[in-house]
Homo-oligomer: A and B are copies of this chain.
Amino acid sequence: MANEHASKQYDLDLGAIRTRVLQMGGLVESQIRRAIDGLASGDLAALEQVIDDDHRVNAMEVALDGDTSHLIVRRQPAASDLRMIFAIAKTVTDLERIGDEAQKMARMAKAIHERGAAPLPPAVDVRHAAEAAIAMLRRSLDAFARLDCEAAQGVIRDDAGLDAEFRAILRQLITFMMEDPRTISTALEIVWIAKAIERIGDHAKNMAEYVIYIVRGTDVRHTRSPQPGA
């Protein structure tokens, strides 16, 4: 029967939006990576580029929100389609905020290097935390691409680890600041970078929660004990 392709166009439209979400995720991921690389290398031009590229992320958000509205108007989604659209609308916001965080990281890194301050030792830990955050983001995007609940739950679990890492970095930085108050400005900038990384983890976790909502139809947000404070 011809019905097998009765909703081909609908599937194509949905697929196109999902692909663009993943593209946005890829862009955001590269933003984080370039920011953290810039922090290490002090390549001001590269950091400048990250800051500039945020407008691309923003543009993608606006475009994807438009696509989502159009799909709602065109297709009146229900059931899993509606959950998908709804989750995409929310995910896009998180991705854009991750983009913002990456921009902030780049801005801080640029400030540190412009001032010519020697990077503090916790910068290494920051890099490690950043890698963890990138991994979380990538895995939540993967989970979204494959609608994989298991992977999404892994991301949610990992967020606690990232939070712990953030707190460790914070403690370290406080020690540094206390030991040498001249480092306070730089340390504070690194605090902001670490905070951004911690937030990226939070956003990745949100996205993972949306994946579970898409697949299972259950809202798993806020269902466990309150997250550890920032």
Which A residues are within 8 Å of any B CB, using their own CB? Answer: 51, 54-55, 58-59, 61-62, 65-66, 68-69, 72-73, 76-78, 82-83, 86, 89-90, 93, 103-104, 107-108, 170, 174, 177-178, 181-182, 184-185, 188, 191-192, 195, 219, 221-222, 226, 229-230
Contact = CB atoms under 8 A, between A and B. Distances in A.
Tell me how many chains of this kind the complex includes.
2
Nearest to A90: B93
Given A69-B86, A82-B72, A89-B90, A61 B221 contact: yes
Contacts of A82: 69, 72-73
Contact of A221 (B51, B62, B229): B62
Contact residues of A: prevailing secondary structure: helix
Contacts of A66: 219
Contacts of A230: 104, 192
